[in-house]
Chains A and B, each alone.
Chain A
Amino acid sequence: MNNIQKPGLYIHIPFCVKKCNYCDFFSLGANDLSCRSGSDIYSSYASALLNEAKYLAECAMRRILRCGALTPEAYDTVYIGGGTPSLLPPENIIELVHILRTSFDIPYDAEITIEANPGTLTDAKLKAYREAVINRISIGVQSLDDAQLGFLGRIHNSKEAEEAVTLAKRYFENINVDFIFGIPGLSGISTSETLKNVRDKASFVIDRELPHVSFYSLITEPGTPLYSWDRAGRLDRVEDELEREMYYDFCNILQSHGYGQYEISNFALPGFESRHNLKYWSGAAYTGIGAGAVSFLPAPEDGQFVRFRNVPDIGTYINTYALSSCKDSCRLPETRGVSEIQEVLDVDARKKEYMMLGFRKTKGPDPELYSQLFGGALLSEDFCQEIDELIKSGYVRNDLSLTRKGLDMGNEIFMKFV
């Protein structure tokens, strides 16, 4: 691992009460878990997670013994995402975080986030999260309009979302809410989103003094019900013009209330930017634990990184980590268990990816961090031509920050680096 940025730790909980109509993440709704009862599979899964964490810690320990490295695996951000992590019994979460803390070096000021669905959040769960010293909670509110929530396939209504946030505020200071905008109507059934919906969302965040909000433009991902409705021409789409108006309305309102926009879809009060997510956009390493979780780690070859994914199958995953200790001799992380390599990145590929992801941040990729990561190389030299073109096209300012056009046309920027 590089010493400049500590890696992040991601835990995937691939369970939901019901899969949402727009979601293409690896997660199973209760209906898809027909063979075993829910609580059974939750506890088997939770213990598999613990075993994978212990196994990784063991590997790290052996590396230390072998190579004389001084510190155990250190993570200063942990993100428990899903799926719906709040679906697991709270004692599983307490135990999980406890094991992570004993297996790895996680400082007490680490950012530890858990995702929650308003329909599954209770006082007892929130209390348990605090007990586990989880210090950030991300709540998927998505919309404040019940017709839209129904269309998206959410399990909660707007009243429950409000209650969940109010409840969370009793235990957490660092709260994020997720919103989706640009929600179409289903032709002939419900109407699509309006500017008023968007302003309601902004007020929701400001009135409750929530320090962080993610504001996502709805994407129709292949394989989702939304996608097939779209293909069948059943969606009453929001036109680009209106969609952008919504976006900038939201940006302006938030900014005028002291929120900074630090990424295309993310806004925070100063100091509340998601440290974990920023790692993804800054070339940092991360370890993923759980079925379908992705890791991005340095490979033995000089300067190479490898991105690999654990098997996205709950049964296989549980079977792989059913035993509490791993008898195999310690192998390289990329060959661990049943994971599949997605991509091996050499220095050039990492540089490009750094640029692509860096331009998701409103300030653009950080040239200093670039030099630190890539042995003193200069971003302005390596990508002189691309940057020149981006500035000429009006996507990027001279200081590499995104212009409004750059925020609108992000893909044009990203495509320069793939």
Chain B
Amino acid sequence: MADQDKIRNFCIIAHIDHGKSTLADRILEKTGVLTEREMEDQVLDNMDLERERGITIKAQAVRLNYKAKDGSEYVYNLIDTPGHVDFNYEVSRTLSACEGAVLVVDASQGIEAQTLANVYLAIDHNLEVIPVINKIDLPAAQPEVVRKEIEDVIGLPADDAPLISAKVGIGIEDVLEQIALKIPAPKGDVNAPLKALVFDSYYDAYRGVIVYVRIVDGSVKRGDIIKFMSTGNEYTVTEVGWFKPGTLLPSASVEAGEVGYIAAAIKDITDATVGDTVTLKDYSASEPLPGYKSVQPMVFCGIYPVDGNDYDALRDALFKLKLNDASLTFEPETSQALGFGFRCGFLGLLHLEIIQERLSREFDLDLITTTPSVIYKVFLTNGEKITLDNPSNFPDPATIEHIEEPMVKATIMTPKDYVGNIMELCNDRRGVFLNMDYIEETRVVLTFNMPLNEVIYDFFDALKSRTRGYASLDYELTAYQPSKLVKLDILLNGQIVDALSFIVHEEKAYGRARKIAEKLKDVIPRHQFEIPIQACIGGKIIARETVKAYRKDVLAKCYGGDITRKKKLLEKQKEGKKRMRQFGNVEVPQEAFLTVLKLDTDS
């Protein structure tokens, strides 16, 4: 329990690689939470995956004590946020839990796309933003230029922005001091009914779901009966407390203004969803906090074990991931080509990739992922309506009256120089231009009405590559709209591989088919015979490629020192042969199923 005046709740926002995690590490070190010896670099990014990709997937929080120069003791709650459009909603909830944000800008790179996207998001949430200029130790650093850029482009006063090097440890004190001075204290009413914002949660095998909350009003303690306002579900609190790096610290209560956790023997993570408001059963808030929405999966695909014997292991792994990820959904499905697997739902393509990588890394599963799909509504001539998220269930075209597909409103923020490129890209993805607004002299916001099906493949990557990384994207589902859609099948050596089938707009079918055929030609290894690759719609072939028979596969060199290693390589090759999926007599590597997902028009 701490005096609200002395609490500072903040997050760090930055463009990727500008040093967010390094600064977080330094802050932890300076506030003495960790000794240098205990520091594992980038403590807040827990998962290997997060460290490698330099992204944060789950929000992380930590409570620190800071003694300011004026002698007062402060409690700092630092919350790390995810940084990708797939998790935009989680980001917005995390920001809602803070009063301020430390904006890290690289002294050599200056302001970049995510910087702006994040700053605007922070400003939208009424956060006090403290700009910090990092990496001043680099030879290419231009702190004064960057300072002016922050003032001109973002419009934030930056005359006293700390010049720091998180890597070397310069200027960290300044940052800590400004947090105390500039970020407003929370102003909750501790006597009002409990209102706690859920900004993250995870499943703990002993305590059930650990709910990350920001207490806006009131307080909560062990034994209280809490109520989730979106569902009305009630639980008895077994433990409350604060966050320490890598661990939880139980406390007597958590009160207005504080960031902490609640454990209440909650079995299912979907009962404690991000954005929900927690209140007390007997002293209940009349209104939940604003902004709750139930996050629905928007992208679906099949996930199959390469080895059919791993089916049970895959199911167990999905259940385990689901414990910590309310937005993941799955149900069993069967494919002629791939056997038994699961139809899974995701927030977006990055979410899909992350789950897939976690399944293979943390659970050591070899998987095949099918082409992702959105949910279509198919209206049949007999008046029936089908909801379709799996191309395999595509009905006989003769029975279809019409099909509707989900549309999104895509908002793209970009420096004005790239407007032409973006227009072209969105046009190509069947986007309809809605509006363009200048947010300042050099930056614009573009809005498009676009089919979700065009956004989920590789739109984000394509957008980044056409704008040198400067554009940022957000999208929200708007409505369903009739569309001329067809099912495209891929045949290898004359056989349909159902896992490669997908639904596509009639006009785009030809281009997509050609590109997929070309890609498959690259990733399907040469066999000892020729393999035709065909793409067809309802039996009509619209694209064809051929994988030539291979001509050589032989180690050129093998002498004494190398024999053991060469044997291992051969063992691996032998193993790899077994792991490939056999269709007819064509061996298809997992990579083939992945590469068809990424078909940027540039490449």
A residues in contact (CB < 8 Å) with B: 8, 10, 12, 25, 216-219, 240-241, 243-244, 247, 264-265, 277, 279-281, 286, 288, 292-294, 296, 307, 309, 342-343, 353, 356-357, 360, 407-412, 414-415, 418
User: Are A10 and B553 in contact, with the CB atoms below 8 A?
Assistant: no
Q: Which of B543-567 contact A (CB under 8 A)?
A: 548, 550-564, 567
Cβ-defined partner of A409 (8 Å) among B552, B558, B567: B552
B residues in contact (CB < 8 Å) with A: 526, 528, 548, 550-564, 567, 570-571, 573-574, 577
Closest chain A residue, CB of each to CB of B603? A233
User: Are A408 and B554 in contact, with the CB atoms below 8 A?
Assistant: yes
Contact A241 to B558, CB < 8 A, known contacts A280-B563, A414-B570: no
Docked pose: A264 CA to B553 CA in angstroms? 12
Closest chain B residue, CB of each to CB of A286? B560
* A/B interface sample: 18 pairs, CB < 8 A: A10-B561, A12-B561, A216-B556, A219-B556, A240-B551, A240-B552, A280-B558, A288-B561, A294-B560, A294-B563, A294-B564, A342-B564, A409-B554, A410-B554, A411-B553, A411-B555, A411-B573, A412-B553
Looking at the assembled complex, report how far the CB atom of B427 sits from the nearest CB atom of chain A, in whole angstroms.
28
Docked pose: A411 CA to B558 CA in angstroms? 12
Contact A217 to B554, CB < 8 A, known contacts A280-B559, A280-B560, A292-B561: yes
Docked pose: A234 CA to B227 CA in angstroms? 59
User: Are A415 and B573 in contact, with the CB atoms below 8 A?
Assistant: yes
Looking at the assembled complex, report how far the CB atom of B549 sits from the nearest CB atom of chain A, in whole angstroms.
9
User: Are B563 and A357 in contact, with the CB atoms below 8 A?
Assistant: yes
Closest chain B residue, CB of each to CB of A279? B560
User: Are B556 and A415 in contact, with the CB atoms below 8 A?
Assistant: no
Docked pose: A12 CA to B559 CA in angstroms? 13
Cβ-defined partner of B555 (8 Å) among A218, A219, A281: A219
CB < 8 Å A-B pair total: 91
Contact A294 to B567, CB < 8 A, known contacts A265-B556, A408-B554, A415-B573: no
Docked pose: A10 CA to B574 CA in angstroms? 31
Looking at the assembled complex, report how far the CB atom of A243 sits from the nearest CB atom of chain B, in whole angstroms.
6
User: Are B552 and A243 in contact, with the CB atoms below 8 A?
Assistant: yes
Docked pose: A296 CA to B577 CA in angstroms? 30
User: Are B561 and A265 in contact, with the CB atoms below 8 A?
Assistant: no
Looking at the assembled complex, report how far the CB atom of B528 sits from the nearest CB atom of chain A, in whole angstroms.
8
Report chain B residues within 8 Å CB of A281: 558
Closest chain A residue, CB of each to CB of B558? A360
| Beyond A307-B563, A415-B574, 7 extra complex contacts between A and B, CB < 8 Å | A217-B554, A219-B557, A277-B559, A415-B570, A415-B577, A418-B571, A418-B574
Report chain A residues within 8 Å CB of B559: 277, 280
Looking at the assembled complex, report how far the CB atom of A367 sits from the nearest CB atom of chain B, in whole angstroms.
21
Docked pose: A8 CA to B464 CA in angstroms? 59
State the majority secondary structure of interface residues on B.
loop
Docked pose: A218 CA to B555 CA in angstroms? 10
Docked pose: A353 CA to B560 CA in angstroms? 12
User: Are A309 and B571 in contact, with the CB atoms below 8 A?
Assistant: no
Cβ-defined partner of B557 (8 Å) among A265, A292, A342: A265
Report chain B residues within 8 Å CB of A218: 556
Contact A293 to B567, CB < 8 A, known contacts A244-B551, A265-B556, A410-B555: no
Report chain B residues within 8 Å CB of A265: 556-557
Report chain B residues within 8 Å CB of A247: 552
Report chain A residues within 8 Å CB of B528: 409
Docked pose: A116 CA to B567 CA in angstroms? 28
Cβ-defined partner of A414 (8 Å) among B550, B555, B564: B555
User: Are B550 and A240 in contact, with the CB atoms below 8 A?
Assistant: yes
Report chain A residues within 8 Å CB of B571: 418
Docked pose: A162 CA to B552 CA in angstroms? 31
Report chain A residues within 8 Å CB of B555: 219, 264, 410-411, 414
Looking at the assembled complex, report how far the CB atom of A331 sits from the nearest CB atom of chain B, in whole angstroms.
22
Report chain B residues within 8 Å CB of A294: 560-564
Closest 10 A/B residue pairs (Cβ): A410-B554, A240-B551, A294-B561, A217-B556, A342-B564, A216-B556, A418-B570, A411-B553, A408-B552, A280-B560
Report chain A residues within 8 Å CB of B577: 415
Report chain A residues within 8 Å CB of B570: 356, 411, 414-415, 418
Looking at the assembled complex, report how far the CB atom of A187 sits from the nearest CB atom of chain B, in whole angstroms.
14
User: Are B556 and A240 in contact, with the CB atoms below 8 A?
Assistant: no
Report chain B residues within 8 Å CB of A307: 563-564
Report chain A residues within 8 Å CB of B573: 411, 415
Report chain A residues within 8 Å CB of B564: 294, 307, 342-343
User: Are A309 and B557 in contact, with the CB atoms below 8 A?
Assistant: no
Docked pose: A360 CA to B570 CA in angstroms? 14
Closest chain B residue, CB of each to CB of A12? B561
Looking at the assembled complex, report how far the CB atom of A343 sits from the nearest CB atom of chain B, in whole angstroms.
5
Docked pose: A240 CA to B528 CA in angstroms? 12
Looking at the assembled complex, report how far the CB atom of B495 sits from the nearest CB atom of chain A, in whole angstroms.
24
Docked pose: A76 CA to B218 CA in angstroms? 89
Closest chain A residue, CB of each to CB of B551? A240
Report chain B residues within 8 Å CB of A293: 561
Report chain B residues within 8 Å CB of A360: 558
Closest chain B residue, CB of each to CB of A411? B553
User: Are A409 and B553 in contact, with the CB atoms below 8 A?
Assistant: yes
Closest chain A residue, CB of each to CB of B560? A280
Docked pose: A418 CA to B574 CA in angstroms? 9
Looking at the assembled complex, report how far the CB atom of A24 sits from the nearest CB atom of chain B, in whole angstroms.
9
Docked pose: A412 CA to B574 CA in angstroms? 9
User: Are A356 and B561 in contact, with the CB atoms below 8 A?
Assistant: no
Closest chain B residue, CB of each to CB of A222? B569
Closest chain A residue, CB of each to CB of B562? A294
Residue among B528, B559, B570, B577 with most chain A CB within 10 A: B559
Docked pose: A184 CA to B562 CA in angstroms? 24
Docked pose: A45 CA to B530 CA in angstroms? 54
Closest chain B residue, CB of each to CB of A408? B552
Docked pose: A121 CA to B391 CA in angstroms? 67
Contact A216 to B557, CB < 8 A, known contacts A244-B551, A418-B570: yes
Docked pose: A353 CA to B564 CA in angstroms? 10
User: Are A288 and B558 in contact, with the CB atoms below 8 A?
Assistant: no
Cβ-defined partner of B560 (8 Å) among A217, A240, A296: A296
Looking at the assembled complex, report how far the CB atom of B184 sits from the nearest CB atom of chain A, in whole angstroms.
48
User: Are A357 and B558 in contact, with the CB atoms below 8 A?
Assistant: yes
Looking at the assembled complex, report how far the CB atom of B149 sits from the nearest CB atom of chain A, in whole angstroms.
32
Report chain A residues within 8 Å CB of B560: 8, 10, 279-280, 286, 288, 294, 296
Looking at the assembled complex, report how far the CB atom of B562 sits from the nearest CB atom of chain A, in whole angstroms.
8
Report chain A residues within 8 Å CB of B554: 217, 264, 407-411
Docked pose: A294 CA to B559 CA in angstroms? 10
Closest chain B residue, CB of each to CB of A345? B564
Closest chain A residue, CB of each to CB of B526? A240
Looking at the assembled complex, report how far the CB atom of A294 sits from the nearest CB atom of chain B, in whole angstroms.
4
Docked pose: A358 CA to B207 CA in angstroms? 62
Docked pose: A217 CA to B554 CA in angstroms? 9
Looking at the assembled complex, report how far the CB atom of B548 sits from the nearest CB atom of chain A, in whole angstroms.
8
Docked pose: A353 CA to B558 CA in angstroms? 12
Residue among B561, B570, B574, B577 with most chain A CB within 10 A: B561
Report chain B residues within 8 Å CB of A8: 560
Closest chain B residue, CB of each to CB of A10? B560
Cβ-defined partner of B552 (8 Å) among A216, A244, A286, A415: A244
Closest chain B residue, CB of each to CB of A296? B560
Closest chain A residue, CB of each to CB of B553? A411
Docked pose: A277 CA to B559 CA in angstroms? 7
Looking at the assembled complex, report how far the CB atom of B334 sits from the nearest CB atom of chain A, in whole angstroms.
33
Docked pose: A307 CA to B565 CA in angstroms? 11
User: Are A408 and B553 in contact, with the CB atoms below 8 A?
Assistant: yes
Docked pose: A268 CA to B197 CA in angstroms? 80
Report chain A residues within 8 Å CB of B567: 343, 353, 356, 418
User: Are B563 and A241 in contact, with the CB atoms below 8 A?
Assistant: no
Looking at the assembled complex, report how far the CB atom of B576 sits from the nearest CB atom of chain A, in whole angstroms.
10
Docked pose: A280 CA to B558 CA in angstroms? 8
Looking at the assembled complex, report how far the CB atom of B500 sits from the nearest CB atom of chain A, in whole angstroms.
23
Docked pose: A318 CA to B165 CA in angstroms? 41
Residue among B526, B570, B573 with most chain A CB within 10 A: B570
Contact A264 to B551, CB < 8 A, known contacts A342-B564, A411-B570: no
Looking at the assembled complex, report how far the CB atom of A324 sits from the nearest CB atom of chain B, in whole angstroms.
26
